[in-house]
Structure 1
Amino acid sequence: MTNQTYPKNAWYVAAMSEEIGLEKPLGRTICGERIAFYRPSENDIAAVLDFCPHRGAALSLGYVEDGLLVCGYHGLKIGEDGKTKEMPLQRVQGFPCMKSYAVEERYGFIWVWTGDQSKADEALIPHLEWAVSDDWAYGGGLYHIKCDYRLMIDNLMDLTHETYVHASSIGQKEIDESPVSTQVLGGEVITSRYMENIMAPPFWQAALKANGLADDVPVDRWQRCRFTPPSNVMIDVGVAHAGKGGFDAPKEFKASSIVVDFITPENDDTMWYFWGMARNFKPNDDALTDNIRDGQGGIFQEDLEVLECQQINLKSFPEYDLLKLNIDAGGVQSRRIIERIIQEEQKSSKQESTANNSATTSGKNEEIPLQTVSF
C-alpha cells in the first residue's frame, strides 16, 4: 500500500466561488490531483484534469468559450466530461478522455471529490447553517501554507498556543492555565475549554464593544473545537458578561462566533487554508464584517511562520518522536480518525482491484487494438 496521508473519498473545499469567473479557469492541486476548474455557464462549475491530451499543456492557462475549456497552447476544446469536443483542422474522435471530477458549488465554496468518482455523494457535503441563515454574517479568506495539513489540524484542536503566538490579540495566560477536555463522538473530535471571570483580550473587547456591550468588565470565555473528517475544524468561541451563563448566555450578554477552518491538502507538504468567521450579531453590518476579517486574517498570519518552520524541522529531524501531552489529545484523536479512514480506503481499493483481476483472468482474454490518430 502507498504511504497515503489524506483521505481521497471525501469532499474538499477547493476554492472560493469568487475565484472562478466566466472566462478564466482556475488551476489548483487538491490531494495531489492537478485540476482545472471552470464555469461552462454562469451557474455551473466543472473540473477536469489540468492536462491537455494533445501536448500535455495546462488547460488552466487557457480560457472558456461557449461552455468549453479551450487549451491556450493549440486551441483544443474540452468539455466538462473530459472529452475533446473539437480542435482546429483535427479529427478528435480518437483523442483520449481526460479525468473529470465531481464538483459542487455550495455556501460560496467550490467542493471537489478527488477519489473514486462513483462514490461521490452530494449529501455528504456538510450542512452549514451559518451560510444559509440571514441571522449570520461571514467573512474569510485563503492562505497557501507550506506544511502538512495535519499540522494545521493539530494547531486548531489545541488553542493553548494562543497565549504565545497570538499574545496581542486573542491570547491570554488564562488559556493555558485552564484545563481542556477532549471527547470522541462518532467520527468527530471535540475539545473544550472554559474560562470564568476573566478580562477579555483585545480581540474580544472589540467584539463586545461592536455588539453594544461593556468591554471593561469580567467575562466568561469559551473555546469549543470540533474536528470533522476529512479535515474541517469549526470552533465555537466567544465571551459573555460573567455570571450570565457563559456559552449558554442570552444573546444580549455575549459576543460569539464560529471560527471556520476548511483545511485542504495540496500534497504531502503543502495545503490550502480556507479561513473565516461566522457571527450571529449585527449580521448586516458590512463594515464590522470587514474589520473582523482583517483582524482574523492578521491572527492567522501569525500561525504561518510557526507551521512552516515546524514542517521544516519535522522533515529535517525524522528520528525524533514528538511528545503527546493532554493538550495534544484533540489533534492526536483527529489523526487517528484520519488514519482509520485512509486504511479503510486502501483496504476497499485493494479488494476492488483483486475482484477486478479475478474477473479478468476468469474470462476470455481479448486483445484490444490501440487507437491511432491521423495527422
Structure 2
Amino acid sequence: MEFLDDVWYCCALSTEMSKQPLRRVICEIPLVFFKTESGQTCVLEDRCSHRQAPLSHGEVIGEGIQCAYHGFVFGGSGRCTRIPHQDRQPAAADIRAFPIEERWGYVWVWLGGADNADPDKIPHMPWMESEDFRPVCFHFHVKANFQLMADNLLDVSHTDFLHKNTIGSQASHADFKGETKVEMSGEIEGDRVTARRKIFNTPLGKIAAGWAQTEKPVNRTNTMMWEAPNTVHSFLEFENDETNSSVHMEHIMTPETRNTTHYFMNWCRNFGLDNKSYTDDDVRRELTLVVVGEDMPMVEAQQLNLEDFPYIRDVAAKQDQFVMNVHRCLISLYEKAGKQAPREIARNHAQRKSA
C-alpha cells in the first residue's frame, strides 16, 4: 500500500518521549524515538546498519543511541559515530533520520524530503495550551485501516445509534416522540474540508449530559474541520437556558500498516478546570468506554467485512457529504503525489450513488 510522504504524521504523545527508546511503526516503516542526554528528541530507522538489529533494543549514550547487539552508536542525524575496535566509521554505516517536531503535546514526523518539512504545516491546536481549556490526551491502537477509523469520526450521524446509551441521543430514532430538527452544511477550502451539524432540542445520553452540565434537552452543534493527511478537528457545543459548555477535540489517524492504525485524540474541556467537579480520570474512563467499547469494535468488524466484500461500493446517504468531500480531497492529494489512493477510499469514488 502507498502512503503520502510530504505530510506530518502524528507518531507519539510528547509524554512518551524519554531516554528509553520507543519503537513505533509508521506507514509500514519501523522507527525508533528517543531523547538524548541534552534533551533533543530524535527519530531514526529502527535498525542498526551492521546486522539490522533493532536499535529500540539499545540504550541512549550521550547524544546517540547504542545498538545492544555489537555496540554501534548512531547520532540523531543518523550518522554512525562509533564502531567498537576501529577508528573509521564508513558513510555506508549511516542510517536514515527524519525531521521531527514536538508541538501541541504530540510528536510529529515528516517521512518525505527533509527540505519540504515545514513545521507551519502541522495542524493548529492552540486550545491545547490555553488556560481556558483543560486537555486530556489518548493513544489507541486500532486493528483497521486508518481511513475507516477517520470516516467514523467524520460521520457524526452514527452517534445517535452506536453511542445511544453513552454520548448520543434518541432524536434520530424512528420512535422518538419529541420535536427536533437538524441543520447541516459544509464546504471544501483547498486541502481542508469543513462541516457543521446542529441538532435542536435534543435529549442527551448519560455521558454527554455530563459534558453539557445539564439533564435538559439542548441545542447540540458539532463544527468539524478535516485536514491532510487525517486530522479531524471537532468543536462540540451544548446550549440551553442552563448551560453553555464546549469541548475541543482532535482525532488524528496515523497509518501503522495497511490494516492497523495509531489513533491519537485530545479532549479539551472548558468546564471542570479545577479537576474536582469533573476530573481527568472521568474523561479517561468515559472516552475509553466510548472509543474502545463502541467505536473500535465496530470499525474493526467493518474492516473484516471489507475483506470478504472487497469491491462492493457503499450507498451514500445525505449525511455522508462530509465523508465524500474528504475522500475527494484525499484522492486529489494521492493523484498529485503520483500514488494510488487506498482501496477504502477509491472503491467509493467513481459512480457513487446517494440514497
Q: TM-score interval w.r.t. the shorter chain?
A: 0.7 to 0.9
In the TM superposition, residue 88 of structure 1 has moved relative to its aligned partner by 1.8
| Structure 2 residue identity aligned to 1:162 | T
User: Separation in 1 of the partners of 2:193 and 2:131?
Assistant: 28
- 2:184 aligned residue: 180
Q: Which residue of the partner structure matches residue 364 of structure 1? A: none
Partner of 1:88: 84
Give the counterpart of 2:112 among 103, 111, 115.
115
Aligned equivalent of 1:359? none
In structure 2, how many angstroms separate the alpha carbons of the residues matched to 1:153 and 1:81? 33
- Give secondary structure in 1 for the equivalent of 2:263: strand
Once the 2 structures are TM-superposed, how far is the Cα of residue 175 of structure 1 from its aligned partner?
A: 4.6
Partner of 2:17: 20
Bigger helix fraction: 1
Q: Is the 8 A contact 2:200 2:218 kept in 1?
A: yes
Question: Normalised by the size of structure 2, how large is the TM-score?
Answer: 0.87
Contact map agreement 2:192 2:227 (CA 8 A) in 1:
yes
Shift of 1:226: 1.4
Unaligned runs of 5+ in 1: 210-214, 243-251, 348-375
What amino acid does structure 2 have at the position aligned with 1:205?
A
The residue identity in structure 1 corresponding to 2:274 is N
CA drift of 1:158 comes to 0.8
In structure 1, the residue matched to 2:337 is: 345
Q: Is the contact between residue 145 and residue 273 of structure 1 (CA under 8 Å) also seen in structure 2?
A: yes
Aligned to 1:273: 263
| Contact 1:7 1:338 survives alignment (8 Å) | no
Contact 2:169 2:202 in 1 (8 A): no
1:47 pairs with one of 35, 43, 48: 43
Deviation of 1:17 (Å)? 1.2
**Aligned equivalents of 1:233, 1:312: Cα separation in 2:** 24
Report matched runs for 1:249-260 at 5 Å.
253-260=243-250
Q: CA deviation at 1:318?
A: 1.2
Q: Which moved more, 1:8-17 or 1:318-327?
A: 318-327
Measure the CA separation in 2 of the matches of 1:142 and 1:309. 20
- Aligned-partner Cα distance in 2 for 1:266–1:164: 29
**TM-score, length of structure 1 as denominator length:** 0.83
Poorly superposed stretches of 4+, deviation over 6 Å: none
Deviations along 1:178-233, whole A, 9 cap, x unmatched? 35333222321122211112223212321243xxxxx2333211122211111000
Tell me how large the CA RMSD over aligned residues is.
Answer: 1.9
What amino acid sits opposite 1:118 in the alignment?
Answer: D
Question: CA 1:340 to 1:254, structure 2 compared with 1: closer, same or farther past 3 Å?
Answer: same
Cα shift at 1:167 = 1.5
Residue in 1 that maps onto 2:290: 299
Of stretches 272-281 and 92-101 in structure 1, the one that deviates more from structure 2 is 92-101
Check the 8 A contact 1:189/1:333 in 2, yes or no: yes
Q: What residue in structure 2 maps to residue 369 of structure 1?
A: none
| Residues 43-52 or 321-330, more deviating | 321-330
Q: Assess if the C-alpha contact under 8 Å between 1:197 and 1:220 holds in 2.
A: yes
Q: State the Cα distance separating 1:92 from its structure 2 match.
A: 4.2
What is the CA distance between 1:163 and its match in structure 2?
1.7
Q: Is the 8 A contact 1:9 1:115 kept in 2?
A: yes
In 1, Cα distance between the equivalents of 2:137 and 2:172?
25
For the Cα contact (< 8 Å) 2:7–2:111, is it kept in 1?
yes
Asked if 1 retains the 8 angstrom alpha-carbon contact of 2:123 and 2:231, the reply is no
* 1:38 partnered with 2:38: no
Q: Secondary structure at the match of 1:346?
A: coil
Percent of aligned positions that are identical = 28
Instruction: Decide whether the 8 Å contact of 1:157 with 1:226 is kept in 2.
Output: no
Q: Which amino acid aligns with 1:187?
A: D
1:327 equivalent to 2:309? Answer no
- Listed one character per residue, the Cα deviations across residues 254-273 of structure 1 (whole Å, up to 9, x for unaligned) are 11101221111112111100
Question: Is the Cα–Cα contact under 8 Å of residues 31 and 267 in structure 1 kept in the other structure?
Answer: yes
* Counterparts of 2:99 and 2:133, CA distance in 1: 29
